[in-house]
């Protein structure tokens, strides 16, 4: 470790991932080329040796293993830049505050959109990349437009991070169940009304088994709603679920669970592992709409014959999928290696890297159809699947995103579940959710005074 400009002390034992060495292959573009003077090889370029450094990534949200991070990102970085050793600090411990306390250095923060405020702004880690983007003539137009617009919104016109992966926006369906009941498979381009009708046809009781036509997660369906409805009023910074459009959208989602035989019996079935098991393990759900996940791990289902179909569109939002939910890598303001970290971020959003990761089953964050369609090419079992359905033709514009979104989304989700379970009418549930969210927001504000 002594060959590095500075050393990072990780707080979880042997979590530092040791690079394979500085002489690895594939380091094209990692150094400045110059001509060798004299001899027969005078025109052959050679690489200037760069000072070895350690670049530290902090997972502040996802709970990735070090092995998974290296497979998806770290190994490719070290191959491209042989002078860089990649280190990885997992989630949840040590937390960012603990890293500060121990004076542990880290360069790039990996955070979900919902945790952006808690991870970046609350810790003062935001760093505007705009000067580096201009200096290195980075082409922002290559990025998926809604992901770029969202990045600028979060940074008040600047950019704190670059999107390195997209989010799934698809229905996955059990082909065996459709065959069993003699119902035609769902098709791309469905409206929400058609999805609703298909859910009705597939919801039934056979013998002593109840089959659900569809399972729709309220969590991301609310946060990523295709009408770009905000959870927080931008002017008041308070939860605001009072618009007629919010009620209309909630009613549309609730209609799925009011279909005969499609209701859920327990609150934990509306999401998470329990909900997924109804589809994958128990195989009693015909269509599963999660609206989340960055790739192959979330889109692979065991011991079943399944395929994908496009996210259904509403008649008054034709052709629109949900709002973007990209995975951003943020350059930390505390980093002492900002130029080097930006160089790596540039590589992670390059056509070269994004194409290879798309083939490996990680959804691209680029506005490039060829790279999108290369998704999971390295997996033979995905060869005949409807890959184009995983990302919508057009994402809805992002709603206003607030640091209080997490509070508001949690309250609205519980309101939805309460209404779906028949505990409250939707008007009461939404009104109480708004009141509860605003009380919690006021408490947060009071604590900071």
pLDDT for res 10: 41
- Alpha carbon dihedral 141, 143, 146, 148, in 10-degree steps, equals -80
Which segments within 166-261 are labelled E, that is strand?
170-174, 204-206, 209-216
pLDDT at residue 94, as a whole number: 96
Beta bridge partners of 215: 288
pTM, to two decimals: 0.87
pLDDT of residue 17: 36
Q: Is the pLDDT of residue 28 over 50?
A: no
Across 156-244, where does the E strand assignment appear? 161-165, 170-174, 204-206, 209-216
Q: What is residue 58's predicted lDDT score, i.e. its pLDDT? A: 98
Tell how far CA 320 is from the center of its chain: 18
**Structural contact between residues 324 and 144, judged by C-beta atoms closer than 8 angstroms:** yes
What is the tens place of the pLDDT at every residue in 232-243?
999 999 999 999
Average pLDDT over residues 388-394: 89
Res 449: pLDDT: 80
Read off the pLDDT of residues 154-166 as tens digits, 9 standing for 90 and up: 999 999 999 999 9
The pLDDT value given to residue 22: 35
pLDDT averaged over every residue in the chain:
90
Question: Do 26 and 57 contact (CB within 8 A), yes or no?
Answer: no
d(CA 10, CA 43): 45
| β 327-331/209-216 pair status | unpaired
Distance CA 61, CA 53 (A): 25
Percent of the chain past pLDDT 90, that is, above it, reads 85
Per-residue tokens: 102: 């121990």
Buried (b) or exposed (e) across 87-123, using 16+ Cβ within 10 A?
A: bbbbbeebbbeebeeeebbbbbbbbbbbbbbbbbeeb
Q: Return the pLDDT at 40.
A: 37
Each residue's pLDDT tens digit, 263-298: 999 999 998 899 999 999 999 999 999 888 889 999
Express each pLDDT in 102-149 by its tens digit.
999 999 999 999 999 999 999 999 999 999 999 999 999 999 999 999
């Amino acid at each position: 470790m002594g060959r590095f400009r500075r050393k990072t002390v990780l707080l979880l034992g042997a979590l530092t991932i040791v690079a394979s060495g500085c002489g690895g292959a594939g380091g094209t573009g990692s150094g400045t080329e110059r001509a060798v003077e004299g001899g027969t090889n005078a025109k052959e370029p050679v690489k200037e040796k760069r000072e070895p450094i350690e670049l530290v990534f902090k997972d502040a949200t996802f709970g990735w293993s070090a092995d998974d991070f290296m497979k998806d990102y770290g190994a490719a970085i070290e191959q491209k830049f042989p002078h860089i050793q990649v280190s990885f600090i997992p989630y949840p411990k040590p937390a960012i505050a603990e890293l500060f306390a121990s004076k542990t250095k880290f360069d790039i923060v990996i955070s979900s959109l919902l945790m952006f405020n808690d991870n970046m702004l609350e810790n003062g880690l935001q760093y505007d990349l705009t000067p580096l983007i201009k200096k290195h003539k980075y082409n922002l137009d290559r990025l998926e437009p809604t992901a770029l617009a969202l990045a600028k919104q979060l940074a008040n016109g600047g950019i704190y991070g670059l999107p390195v992966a997209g989010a799934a926006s698809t229905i996955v369906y059990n082909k065996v169940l459709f065959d069993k009941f003699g119902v035609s498979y769902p098709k791309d381009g469905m409206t929400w009304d058609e999805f609703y009708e298909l859910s009705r046809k597939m919801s039934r009781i056979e013998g002593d088994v109840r089959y659900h036509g569809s399972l729709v997660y309220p969590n991301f369906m609310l946060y990523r709603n295709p009408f770009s409805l905000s959870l927080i009023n931008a002017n008041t910074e308070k939860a605001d679920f009072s618009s007629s459009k919010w009620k209309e959208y909630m009613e549309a989602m609730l209609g799925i669970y009011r279909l005969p035989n499609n209701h859920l019996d327990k609150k934990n079935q509306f999401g998470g592992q329990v909900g997924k098991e109804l589809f994958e393990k128990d195989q009693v759900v015909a269509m599963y709409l999660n609206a989340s996940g960055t790739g192959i791990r979330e889109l692979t289902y065991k011991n079943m014959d399944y395929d994908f179909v496009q996210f259904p569109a509403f008649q008054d939002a034709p052709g629109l999928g949900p709002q973007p939910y990209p995975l951003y890598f943020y350059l930390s303001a505390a980093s002492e290696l900002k130029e080097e970290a930006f160089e790596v971020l540039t590589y992670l959003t390059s056509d070269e890297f994004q194409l290879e990761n798309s083939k490996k089953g990680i959804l691209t964050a680029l506005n490039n159809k060829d790279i999108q369609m290369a998704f999971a090419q390295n997996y033979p079992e995905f060869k005949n699947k409807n890959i184009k359905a995983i990302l919508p033709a057009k994402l809805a514009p992002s709603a206003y995103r607030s640091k209080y979104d997490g509070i508001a989304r949690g309250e609205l989700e519980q309101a939805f579940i309460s209404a779906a379970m028949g505990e409250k009418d939707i008007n009461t549930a939404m009104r109480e959710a708004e009141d509860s969210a605003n009380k919690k927001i006021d408490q947060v504000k009071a604590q900071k005074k």
